[in-house]
Structure 1
Amino acid sequence: MELRALGSQGPTVSTQGLGLMGMSVFYGATDDTESLATIDRALELGVNLLDTAESYGPFINEQLLGKALAGRRREDIVVADKTGVEITDEGQIVDLNGRPDYIRRALDRSLRHLNTDYVDLYYMHRIDPKVPVEESIGAIAELVAEGKVRHIGVSEATAQTIRRAHAVHPLAAVQTEYSLFERGIEHNGVSETLQELGIGLVAYSPLGRGFLSGAITSPDDFAADDWRRSDPRFQGENFDRNLDVVREVRRIASEKHVTPSQLALAWVQHQGAVAIPGTKRRSYLEENIAATEVTLTAADIAAIEQVAPHGAVNGDRYSPEGMATLNG
């Protein structure tokens, strides 16, 4: 597995990381035994960036990662965690909360769940509009000084917010949805800002929440408790139109003798981002990691651009309530 520096200020991470969210929540039934085996296999194959958040469960995903970390050399693993969504100790999600007192309390709780004494990369999961971002980042900067956090990031922030945060303490990374299905950062100033400031890009949902795998052919493919049943891009006419895009991606992948997932991940990596595809099964993990060996030619990029340009996908990426938390 090739390693790269995450921006000019961040840690050295594997070209592809692993998103752990789906191992605990949102995507149907879970199996901790298989999930832990998947994390073990990822580490064996050279993945060192493992991504979680206090809100995944809540807490359950952090606790799962804590089990995976047990007995391992902590310095070999880059643990990314997130805060900014207030959660009671009983696991009740309240609202966005970027206040310094909450951030400090949340990190101490996360460290207990993770069974570690520091987090390598700590993100503001969402930006609280009620709290100046300078105050939130200033609080995490204090935690850096105390050794509880190594690097700081923000997630789903505007270019202006990124600049304001970076002025308080250098950001190592910005995490945002980025894929052939979601290319908004190329057109809202975020990509240019990251390049200018030397901040790394971490792409979550690089497979369009599984759509780009080519394995989803109907909304009925989802379990009853899979949240994608309420995702606008998987609804009605949007689903049908987006499936047309996937068919074209599958065609290009077939011509290149790779899977659609591998083509989609190779494209994200070609853009300079560190992709963190989520999976809870070893077979999909191995397929995804093989994308790090895929080289895209100029002709490949042109063909992909033709079938999946910005704006090709129909529907918002979250419900109206979820969309309201973006671009903080």
Structure 2
Amino acid sequence: MQLLQRIKNGTPITQSELASLEKIIYEKVEEEAKDFLRETFFKTLYIGYFGSGFAKSAAGILYWPLRQLSNKDVRLTPGEEILYHTLPYHDEDSLVILFAEPGTENLVAKTSDAVRLTGSRMLVIAHPLPEIILSRITGPSITIDYQDLPLAFIIAAAKLATMLSKSIGEIKIRTERVISEYSEISTIYNDLINKYKNNIADISDTIVRVKKVIIYTSPTLEPASNLLHWYLNTVAIESKLATISTLLSDISTSINYLFMETLSLIISTDVEADILREAKFKASLANIRSHLSELVIHTDPLTAPLYASLISNKIYTTVVEKMIKNA
């Protein structure tokens, strides 16, 4: 089944399918990237992305554990910024890890040229690239060619996170936790989905009913929120993405609630509990025409981006199943 057809059908992935996909991708990433990542001398690690959907989400899943565990200068940035505004003006030894969505092939080639000219190094994660593009890439490239491309990108990012955490992670206990949990995605999948099944059912029911969603996200869960936002737009569910603090402003001004019913979905960790309480309190006082739902990931913030992304994938497939049933 082709990628777009699977997206339209909302075909859920089983634990056995996930285990198989995880094994294949982990082996591919290990084979292509281990020598490249063995050299840990670099001033700055740029984790970039071309495309606003699953490439951006995968980049975020790689970024957050490294940002919190390492003393290295780790930056999450759009690929365009790396290409046009960073590499040409910074004389430094940089490492670039670039996630690229279909359609951005020429930008990948141009970035590779810029990396080579500035003495930096680059690892590319992309769908199969044309030979003419591959010939211009000097560093290794990891080809992701599977039915569920967004999920495959997420798994690749998780594997890269474990590899880099081993080499540049500074906090031993927390590094070991990331390595352990990011290496066993399929083994925890069913328990994870079962733990949040009520949230998944309630959120998907409301999305199908109102067909308008604003996802308010904490910084660490932006990868998962962005993935859900992208998924929903592929099936004509009107979705917007904003920070949690924006919700407080929106409630105060009623910008998003005057003329339509909207699901306000907060995706956060326990760390942002105070903002969630304030938002729920103000919403109850404002008498706004909106539904307010929450998805709070009760895990270590280091692993929350990955787990929330798996839940976002499940919310999406549940939404599509319901849409097909109601058609």
Q: TM-score range by the shorter chain?
A: 0.3 to 0.5
Choose 1 or 2 for highest CA Rg. Answer: 2
Higher helix share: 2
